[in-house]
């Protein structure tokens, strides 16, 4: 195939510069167990921004190149260069997931069986037009599912299912979720309703509360209210939630969640203990929307843990059968439970416009970009 | 038995006052499976201070009563009263552990077998002269072991053995310990040397470094030095330590430990990942020497956890056989591996002297008080 295959790359060079560009490469030949997927839709996830922007000062980025081949350049402070030394001089292909049509397949029957199918792929730089993927890594969608519907098949759906699975595996019975009005939060809300799990949604704005209320959420607490801690504690008492997932990290929300859990846990203690209650309280931090320090005020005894939560590490803890069942559920419910909502569609060239970058770089809750690499 | 049984109590009253006093109670009669232990030695542990002082402002405490029956009074700020509401109006007996001679025993053969033995007991307020204890909760020492030698049989020895067991159970291969020159730290150093486990000792002062060096410690890093982070990282690279135990809590030492572990873990990565390394890093916080907030700077990826570590919760995770083996090892090695060193011996009345309280209240590393309730 002599067609062009455009991919979005992020390159850090020795002179403390980050460059984002569109690179033309060949369309690969599939190995025996591989297929070639024409990527028709790929979501711009927060984790993609981390790869794209790395530690560069994007507020002062400049744009050059042409309209169809824009180039973005940004400076990296010298102090940050050691932390990215393994990236220097390499063009890193960006894009964690995406979906499209299988247009070529290797010789194996499993690969041949996917010809013409809509599949979702994970990893490898999906912000491109054509990608080679191993058959086993493809999530095969049912006929009738479009690439746009299938674009976000991995990161959000599997993170949500991993949260629920972690809750069950670790013996908790209800979940607290922060920044709960996000696409992921809406998905978690739908899964919890379907599975009969109590979910406490923490939001910051009235309209987010309204949105989730309309989606059937029962427990919603607004962290902007003066009554936030009391509201959260009341919801914890009602649900018995002892596990929380927080994509924010920085600040003291994690500490507040643990303290409210402890107030709920300690309310029935007849004997005072300087160690607090013995009810175990867990907060998983799965994002870094606030990159500032996490402050733990320790008003929650000794039976607690705060941990990082990363999809690929967590999936390794589940049995293969559990993961297969998760993937099948995603395929079965991609237009319902796991439906994603995008506010903007952009081409690869449009991703590299300063104005667009300023907008999606904010990671505002409710705003979500879908890249259409064929556009 | 008509003898007096003096015990040290801490009482919080409705009028926002904390009172420490010596109370005369009857010597109890043993149940069938109980023994009466004449407490001859009990260590003053940091956790005892938590029960004694609670949330009172001890800097402004006053002393009254007599020389043999001193009474200490201190105010509690109104805002702290709700956190101790279950203590109001009750005299809480202080003292987590101690040792002495069995002077009376219940009717069961197991109880009778302990007559005249030196045993260590846990819980129930050991800062008293006579205590009833269930046979199964007694740690029976070999003949020749004195009560002073046996006084600290539970808290420090079992905490140290639980640290080592946790390291093994969770698949780590070397340990980092903060505030490592403490009695507990010296004990951990001896266990690690005996068991062939690499231990990185974090200390703050040159003399602590010298002390541990003389005790055979191989890895010692001084957090007061400018080279602390580099020294710690180098020791982690050499040992492969991915688990740490920290009795301090407040401040950013926990964060620094995780960051150094991450630098060590990431140094061989050929591919940059915005998520950091996938090597799991754990810090357990087992004390609150600094009650200020814990600050986590998040320069250590997503494969990490920070958790509370409390002996009684942790013991519940081990098999009964493991716990029995731990206790037997403590009895066998109480004068060697698990020997405690006390800098001061005080009677119950001397514990309630303002000058003594100001001294032991500092919890200075290397200073340790032993109470002799019969004195």
A45, A64: one domain? yes
Answer whether residue A31 shows pLDDT above 70.
yes
B-chain CB neighbours of A291 within 8 Å are 298
pLDDT of residue A72: 97
The answer to whether the CB atoms of B86 and A301 lie below 8 A apart is no
Q: In terms of CA atoms, which chain A residue is nearest residue B294? A: A296
Give the percent of chain B with pLDDT over 90: 86
Do B283 and B225 have their domain in common? yes
Q: Which candidate from B84, B269, B274 shows the least CB-CB separation from A51? A: B274
Query: Quick check: helix, strand or coil at residue A347?
Result: coil
CA distance A160 to chain B (A): 17
pLDDT digits (tens, 9 = 90+) for A285-330: 999 889 899 999 988 999 999 999 999 899 999 999 999 999 999 9
Could you report the per-residue pLDDT of A141-159, keeping only the tens digit for each? 999 999 999 999 999 999 9
Instruction: Encode pLDDT of B84-140 as tens digits.
Output: 888 999 999 999 999 999 999 999 999 999 999 999 999 889 999 999 999 999 999
Nearest to A294 among B249, B278, B298 (CB): B298
Residue B202 falls within a domain, yes or no? Answer: yes
- A142 with A160, same domain: the answer is no
| Residues on chain B bordering chain A, Cβ-to-Cβ distance under 8 angstroms | 47, 50-51, 54, 84, 86-87, 92, 249-250, 252, 255, 269-272, 274-275, 278, 280, 285-286, 288, 291, 293-298, 301-310, 312-313
A97 and A140 in a single domain? The answer is yes
Structural domain total, chain B:
2
pLDDT at position A43 over 70: yes
Phi/psi of residue A364, nearest 5 degrees: -70, 140
- Name the average pLDDT for chain A: 94
Give the integer Cα–Cα distance in Å for A286 and A266. 27
Nearest chain B alpha carbon to A249:
B298
> Are A97 and A174 part of one and the same domain?
no
Is the confidence at residue B366, as pLDDT, over 90?
no
Residue A2, pLDDT score: 41
Model confidence at B3, pLDDT cuts 50, 70, 90, reads low
pLDDT score recorded for residue B33: 97
If asked whether residues A113 and A234 sit together in one domain, one would say no
Note every long-range contact of A229-237, with CB atoms under 8 Å and residues 24 or more positions apart, other chains counting: A229/A256, A229/A259, A229/A260, A232/A176, A232/A200, A232/A202, A232/A256, A232/A257, A232/A260, A233/A260, A233/A263, A233/A264, A235/A200, A236/A176, A236/A200, A236/A260, A236/A261, A236/A263, A236/A264, A237/A264, A237/A267
Per-residue pLDDT of B17-38, as tens digits, reads 999 999 999 999 999 999 999 9
Q: What is the pLDDT of residues B345-354, one digit of tens each?
A: 999 999 999 9
Residue of B nearest to A311 (CA): B302
Residue B320 lies in a domain: no
In terms of residue numbers, what domain contains A38? 6-152+340-371
Given an 8 Å threshold on Cβ–Cβ distance, is B302 in contact with A313? yes
Contact pairs from chain A to chain B, CB under 8 Å? 105
pLDDT at res. A284: 98
Residue B239 pLDDT > 90, yes or no? yes
Asked if B298's CB is within 8 angstroms of A293's CB, the reply is yes
- Do B302 and A291 count as a contact with CB atoms less than 8 A apart? no
Cβ <8 Å between B274 and A310 = no
Which element (helix H / strand E) includes A46?
helix A46-53
Model confidence at B363, pLDDT cuts 50, 70, 90, reads: confident
Q: Is A167 in the same domain as A301?
A: yes
The pLDDT value recorded for residue B236 is: 98
The answer to whether residue B328 is domain-embedded is no
Under an 8 Å CB criterion, which residues of A touch B?
47, 50-51, 54, 84, 86-87, 92, 249-250, 252, 255, 269-272, 274-275, 278, 280, 285-286, 288, 291, 293-298, 301-310, 312-313
Q: What is the pLDDT of residues A97-118, one digit of tens each?
A: 999 999 999 999 999 999 999 9
Query: Is pLDDT of B301 > 50?
Result: yes
Task: Summarize pLDDT for B149-201 with one digit per residue, the tens.
Answer: 999 999 999 999 999 999 999 999 999 999 999 989 999 999 999 999 999 99
Nearest chain A residue to B263, by CA: A83
| B330 falls within a domain | no
The structure tokens listed for B254 are 């926990």
Q: Which residues of A touch B286 (CB under 8 A)?
A: 302
Chain A: nearest CA to B131, how far in angstroms? 20
Which of A298, A313, A316 has the highest number of chain B CBs within 10 A, making it the mutation to test binding with B?
Answer: A298
pLDDT of A165 higher than 70? yes
A308:B309 CB<8 A: no
* Whether residue B43 is found in the same domain as residue B113: yes
Which pTM does this prediction carry? Answer: 0.88
Q: Which of B246, B275, B278 to mutate to test the interface with A (most CBs of A within 10 A)?
A: B275
pLDDT over 50 (residue B255): yes
The pLDDT score that the predictor gives to residue A288 is 87
CATH number of the domain enclosing A309: 3.40.50.720
Do B146 and B183 reside in the same domain of the chain? no
Q: Does residue B268 sit within a domain?
A: yes
pLDDT at A1: 41
C-alpha angle with apex A38: A35 to A39, nearest 5 degrees?
115
- Residue A86 covered by a domain: yes
Which of B280, B288, B306 lies nearest to residue A306, judging by beta carbons? B306
**pLDDT tens figures, A244-260:** 999 999 999 999 999 99
Q: Please check whether residues A148 and A160 belong to one and the same domain.
A: no
Q: Is A274 close to B84, i.e. CB distance below 8 A?
A: no
Interface probe, candidates B229, B310, B311, B312, chain A, greatest A C-beta count within 10 A = B310
Judge if B350 and B308 occupy the same domain. Answer: no
**The domain spanning residue A88 has which CATH number?**
3.90.180.10
Do A236 and A101 belong together in one domain?
no
pLDDT bin (cut points 50, 70, 90) of residue B1 is very low
Q: What is the pLDDT of residues B309-318, one digit of tens each?
A: 999 899 999 9
Is the pLDDT reported for residue A375 higher than 80?
Answer: yes
What is the distance in angstroms between the Cα of A355 and the nearest Cα belonging to chain B?
Answer: 24
Q: Please check whether residue A253 lies inside any domain of the structure.
A: yes
For A228-284, what is each residue's pLDDT tens digit? 999 999 999 999 999 999 999 999 999 999 999 999 998 877 777 778 899 999 999
The distance of A12 to chain B (nearest Cα, Å) reads 11
Average pLDDT across chain B, whole number: 94
Contacts of A249 in chain B (CB under 8 A): 298
Residue of A nearest to B278 (CA): A313
- B331 lies in a domain? no
Q: How far is A249 from chain B (nearest CA, A)?
A: 9
Instruction: Please name the member of B47, B86, B303 whose beta carbon is closest to the beta carbon of A270.
Output: B86
- Reference A126, options A146, A108, A153, A89; nearest CA is A153
> Which of B47, B274, B294 lies at the smallest CB-CB distance from A50?
B274
- Closest-CA residue of B relative to A267 is B86
């Amino acid at each position: 195939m002599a067609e062009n295959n455009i991919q979005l790359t992020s390159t850090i060079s020795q002179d403390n510069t980050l460059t984002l560009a569109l690179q033309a490469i060949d369309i690969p030949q599939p190995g025996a167990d591989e297929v070639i997927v024409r990527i028709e839709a790929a979501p711009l996830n927060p984790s993609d921004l981390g790869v794209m922007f790395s530690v560069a000062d994007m507020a002062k980025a400049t744009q050059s190149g042409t309209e169809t081949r824009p180039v973005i350049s940004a400076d990296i402070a010298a102090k940050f260069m050691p932390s990215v030394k393994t990236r220097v001089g390499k063009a890193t292909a960006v894009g964690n997931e995406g979906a499209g049509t299988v247009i070529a397949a290797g010789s194996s029957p499993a690969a041949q069986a996917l010809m013409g199918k809509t599949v979702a792929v994970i990893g490898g730089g999906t912000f491109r037009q054509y990608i080679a993927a191993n058959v086993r890594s493809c999530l095969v969608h049912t006929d009738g599912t479009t690439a746009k519907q299938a674009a976000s098949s991995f990161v959000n759906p599997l993170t949500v299912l991993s949260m629920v699975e972690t809750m069950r595996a670790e013996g908790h019975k209800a979940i607290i979720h922060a920044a709960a009005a996000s696409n992921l939060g809406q998905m978690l809300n739908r899964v919890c309703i379907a599975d009969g799990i109590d979910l406490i949604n923490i939001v910051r704005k009235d309209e987010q509360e309204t949105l989730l209320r309309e989606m059937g959420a029962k427990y919603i607490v607004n962290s902007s209210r003066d009554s936030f801690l009391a509201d959260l504690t009341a919801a914890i008492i009602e649900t018995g939630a002892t596990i929380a997932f927080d994509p924010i990290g920085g600040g003291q929300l994690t500490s507040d969640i643990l303290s409210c859990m402890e107030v709920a846990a300690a309310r029935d203690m007849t004997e005072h203990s300087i160690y607090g209650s013995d009810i175990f309280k867990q907060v998983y931090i799965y994002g870094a929307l606030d990159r500032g320090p996490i402050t733990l005020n320790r008003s929650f005894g000794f039976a607690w843990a705060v941990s990082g939560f990363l999809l690929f590490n967590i999936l390794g803890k589940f049995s293969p059968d559990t993961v297969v069942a998760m993937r099948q559920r995603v395929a079965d419910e991609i237009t319902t439970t796991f439906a994603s909502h995008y506010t903007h569609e952009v081409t690869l060239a449009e991703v590299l416009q300063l104005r667009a970058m300023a907008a999606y770089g904010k990671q505002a809750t409710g705003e979500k970009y879908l890249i259409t690499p064929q556009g």
